[in-house]
A = this chain, B = another copy of it.
Amino acid sequence: MYNNVTHRLCTHRLQSSILERVTVDIRIRFGRTVRRLREEQEINQEEAADRCGLHRTYYSGIERGVRNVSLVNIEKVAKGLKTSLPDLFRRV
């Protein structure tokens, strides 16, 4: 029981560290990056969705990490949030 708690604490710390890239699902990491990019531009989800040419509920799903976004829409997101694909993935 104690070991379990310790294990969970350690796991939590690891996820906040460099190992995050390995352990956290790509959809979650991509969504967080998109949210950060949008917040830096001080626009809301609806405005961002408009700029990307995506439906706002779909866009919201991207930020929440529930969408397995594919190339064509990834490109729309990059253009809409005024970044390049390499820069976008550098932050994922």
Interface residues on A, range: 10 to 19
Query: A65: nearest residue on chain B (CB-CB)?
Result: B71
What 0/1 readout, one digit per residue, does chain A (55-92) give for beta carbons within 8 Å of chain B? 00000000000001111101100000000111111101
CA distance A77 to B30 in the complex (A): 16
What 0/1 readout, one digit per residue, does chain A (25-58) give for beta carbons within 8 Å of chain B? 0110010000000000000000000000000000
The secondary-structure label for the interface of chain A is: helix
Query: A30: nearest residue on chain B (CB-CB)?
Result: B71
CA distance A26 to B89 in the complex (A): 15
Task: Kindly identify which residue among B26, B71, B87, B92 contacts A26, using a CB–CB cutoff of 8 Å.
Answer: B71
| Most central of A72, A84, A86 by chain B CB within 10 Å | A86
